[in-house]
């Protein structure tokens, strides 16, 4: 059967592309801003036009037929090329009024976003920046283009996303000014002898299954401190467990407890004079902070500009 492009509605091809990636009528509709019935209607028109079932529903969702799998990559590449063809070739930061949307946690909002705002004010005064938290619909918002970038530490990243390093973060211990640990060298035994604020280990799985992302919600040393404890046959004294680094900071500032938090965050907090840093008296690995975005959005000059600006700001952090 010969299909002529002149008889094909381009919007139907966008629905096909979204269904092939999402494997769900609901998620494809949310990504395209369409109702489930509109997606189903478009799929029926495609089935008639291409003389193939294209997708059948099973326990895994909408599973593509061999014909859909065959044409999917070529169609996706063609749509990406078409988007690139109609996207302005240049991005003029000085005159742009574009809205940039970034999802970031409290750490990134403290360490990176202030410098990013300052740079944008200087070189792109008309552009808008919207920073949001990590919501349950984050993956859907990335796929739909409502969110441009996510700044975090990731564990599982599907192939449709690209991620690039921004920072290598180290962890440091922090105590209140005048704490006994600030008097003289801090040995591992002295550190263990103090009560600790333990930051609860948390990971957020967003988007569901192999289509989603796994984000580390807390900054950890990959078990380095616990391994050193086990090696020396010691046990730590946990005074309280806190939900995040900011809660741990507040507790450490008003108690005799020590907290392990990201070093850059500790440095910012120590500027108040109420807290002091203690470098870990053991080998502690770094934590990678990366920026993530949809690979196909590199066809947009504005997205490339913001990615490069984020990397530039991070290099100065």
pLDDT band at 126 (very low <50, low <70, confident <90, very high): very high
Q: 60 with 14: CB under 8 angstroms?
A: no
Domain boundary among 86, 111, 131: 86
Domain boundary among 31, 55, 86: 86
Question: Is position 121 within any domain?
Answer: yes
* pLDDT for the residue numbered 7: 59
Question: Is position 213 within any domain?
Answer: yes
- CB burial of 264-275 (b: ≥16 within 10 Å; e: otherwise) equals bbbeebbeeeeb
* pLDDT for the residue numbered 71: 86
Question: Is position 295 within any domain?
Answer: yes
Closest CA to 281 of 219, 195, 199, 189: 189
Q: What is the pLDDT of residues 64-79, one digit of tens each?
A: 999 888 888 888 878 8
* pLDDT for the residue numbered 214: 86
Q: Which residues contact 219 (CB under 8 A, 6 or more apart)?
A: 107, 153, 169, 171, 199, 245, 261, 262, 287
* pLDDT for the residue numbered 34: 84
Closest CA to 220 of 273, 169, 160: 169
Task: Look at the block and give the residue holding tokens 């060298």.
Answer: 185
Q: 183 with 175: CB under 8 angstroms?
A: no
Decide which of 89 and 185 is more confident: 185
Same domain, yes or no, for 72 and 41? Answer: yes
Same domain, yes or no, for 23 and 58? Answer: yes
User: Could you report how far apart the first and last alpha carbons of the chain are, in Å?
Assistant: 59
Question: Is position 56 within any domain?
Answer: yes
List the domain range (segments joined by +) for residue 266: 171-285
* pLDDT for the residue numbered 303: 94
Q: How large a percentage of the chain has pLDDT more than 70? A: 95
Same domain, yes or no, for 209 and 257? Answer: yes
Burial of 139 (0-12, 13-18, 19+ CB in 10 A): buried
Residue 112, pLDDT above cutoff 80: yes
Please state whether beta strands 55-58 and 61-64 pair in parallel, antiparallel, or not at all (unpaired). antiparallel
DSSP summary character for residue 138? H
* pLDDT for the residue numbered 2: 56
Question: Is position 50 within any domain?
Answer: yes
Q: What is the pLDDT of residues 272-306, one digit of tens each?
A: 889 999 999 999 999 899 999 999 888 889 999 99
User: Could you give phi then psi for residue 303, rounded to 5 degrees?
Assistant: -65, -40
User: Could you give phi then psi for residue 175, rounded to 5 degrees?
Assistant: -135, 165
Same domain, yes or no, for 111 and 257? Answer: no
Closest CA to 259 of 211, 201, 196: 196
Same domain, yes or no, for 257 and 228? Answer: yes
* pLDDT for the residue numbered 87: 66
Same domain, yes or no, for 276 and 205? Answer: yes
pLDDT band at 88 (very low <50, low <70, confident <90, very high): low
Residue 172, pLDDT above cutoff 70: yes
Same domain, yes or no, for 208 and 275? Answer: yes
Same domain, yes or no, for 311 and 263? Answer: no
Same domain, yes or no, for 109 and 55? Answer: no
Question: Is position 94 within any domain?
Answer: no
Same domain, yes or no, for 187 and 227? Answer: yes
- In angstroms, rounded to a whole number, what is the distance separating the alpha carbons of residues 71 and 76? 9
pLDDT band at 146 (very low <50, low <70, confident <90, very high): confident
Same domain, yes or no, for 125 and 180? Answer: no
DSSP summary character for residue 7? G
Question: Is position 186 within any domain?
Answer: yes
Residue 80, pLDDT above cutoff 70: yes
Residue 140, pLDDT above cutoff 90: no
Mean pLDDT of the chain: 88
Q: How many domains are there within the chain? A: 3
* pLDDT for the residue numbered 114: 95
Same domain, yes or no, for 157 and 299? Answer: yes
Question: Is position 93 within any domain?
Answer: no
* pLDDT for the residue numbered 174: 96
Q: 200 with 247: CB under 8 angstroms?
A: no
Which CATH number belongs to the domain containing residue 104 in this structure? 3.40.190.10
- What is the mean pLDDT of the segment spanning 135-151? 88
């Amino acid at each position: 059967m010969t299909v002529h492009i002149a008889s094909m509605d381009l919007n139907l091809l966008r629905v096909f592309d979204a269904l092939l990636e999402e494997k769900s009528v609901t998620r494809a509709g949310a990504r395209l801003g369409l109702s489930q019935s509109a997606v189903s209607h478009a799929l029926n028109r495609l089935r008639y036009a291409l003389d193939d079932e294209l997708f059948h529903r099973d326990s895994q969702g909408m599973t593509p037929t061999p014909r859909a799998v065959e044409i999917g990559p070529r169609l996706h590449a063609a749509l990406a090329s078409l988007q690139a063809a109609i996207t302005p070739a240049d991005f003029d930061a000085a005159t742009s009024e574009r809205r940039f949307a970034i999802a970031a946690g409290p750490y990134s909002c403290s360490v990176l976003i202030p410098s990013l705002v300052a740079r944008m004010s200087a070189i792109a005064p008309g552009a808008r920046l919207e920073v949001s938290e990590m919501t349950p619909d984050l993956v859907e918002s990335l796929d739909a283009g409502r969110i441009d970038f996510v700044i975090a530490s990731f564990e599982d990243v599907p192939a449709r996303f690209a991620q690039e390093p921004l920072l290598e973060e180290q962890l440091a211990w922090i105590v209140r000014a005048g704490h006994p640990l600030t008097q003289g060298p801090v040995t591992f035994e002295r550190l263990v002898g103090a009560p600790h604020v333990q930051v609860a280990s948390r990971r957020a799985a967003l988007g569901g299954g192999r289509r989603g992302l796994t984000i580390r919600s807390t900054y950890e040393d990959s078990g380095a401190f616990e391994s050193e404890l086990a090696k020396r046959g010691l046990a730590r004294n946990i005074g309280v467990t806190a939900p995040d680094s900011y809660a741990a900071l507040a507790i450490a500032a008003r108690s005799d407890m020590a907290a392990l938090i990201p070093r850059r965050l500790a440095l910012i907090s120590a500027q108040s004079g109420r807290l002091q840093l203690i470098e870990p008296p053991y080998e502690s690995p770094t934590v990678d902070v990366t920026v993530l975005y949809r690979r196909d959005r590199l066809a947009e000059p504005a997205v490339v500009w913001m990615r490069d600006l984020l990397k530039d700001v991070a290099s100065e952090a």
